[in-house]
Amino acid sequence: MSEWRTLRRSTTSPTACWTSSATTAIPCRGAAEVAAVAVVEELGPVRSGLLEVGRLEIDVVVVPDRGSVKLTVERDARITATVPAGLDTARLIAVVRSRRRWIYDKLEERTEEAALRPDKEFVTGEGFHYLGRSYRLKIVDEAPVPVGLVHGRLLLRRDCLDHARDDLIAWYRRRGSVWLPTRVEPWAQRMRAPFHNIAVRRLGYRWGSCNREGGVNIHWAAMQLPSRLIDYVLVHELAHLHKRDHSPEFWSLVGRALPDYRERRDQLDQFGALLWLPEPVTSSK
């Protein structure tokens, strides 16, 4: 799931016009872009990587068994396109241009969300969420571990202040590694998902991911969510073990497990926009 990176957006509103292609109608803004389209058409099938479409930069991910183009504006305002193998580059550009207004609207939403996101300080009294509840931070001189939850207070050892961010993230990961396995197993059995294992990772700007070997990954920040919203993230990823896309069949799987998934999805968008989620500085491992 679709918050955290500063976005610079041009105030110039794009004006669409159209030029004909042998295969599709492609929107453009002028002769230079028409020439660019001709060059793109010569490139043939789209490849994974960065694609520039006007002022937009699109991260392209080619998925062999995907049947359609999926555009997503990530929480950090990155734009990703998940596409089937063999898709013509010109066709992808046409899709992006046809959704340009929607993309700009989503970019504006992400900018507003980023402005609302709290900037946490590691001082006594600051609040941090765990499983939907806010716990006050307390800086202590002595403790057996850098971060711990004791009698309803989140304790941070004073000598760890210089790397408090990483210590707290590590604490969320440890808690998730204990809590999530027992939480996901009943859902996996109920959905008959080919589930193998679960891990808590740094996932950039995604709540979760999965792989063909039955592995499910959950973002450490999800441990701040209420348990019912974590359930939605789990069910979403387990459904992907059956269906890799977001087709009607995929949402049918989600709906059978969680009849109120739309409500939970909306709550995830609202709650997630207010969580502590610092800018990632290291790659996931």
How far is residue 172's CA from residue 177's CA, in Å, rounded to a whole number? 9
Lowest mean pLDDT among 11-20, 25-34, 96-105, 223-232: 11-20
Please provide the CATH number assigned to the domain covering 127-272.
Answer: 3.30.2010.10
User: What pLDDT, in 10s, does the model give residues 194-223?
Assistant: 999 999 998 877 899 999 899 999 999 999
Beta-sheet strands, E only, within 123-220: 127-130, 133-140, 147-150, 153-157, 197-201, 208-210, 215-219
Whether the model clears a pTM of 0.75, i.e. scores above it, the answer is: no
> Domain residue spans in the chain?
17-116, 127-272
**Residue 233 pLDDT more than 60?**
yes
In which band, very low, low, confident or very high, does the pLDDT at 176 lie, cut at 50, 70 and 90?
A: very high
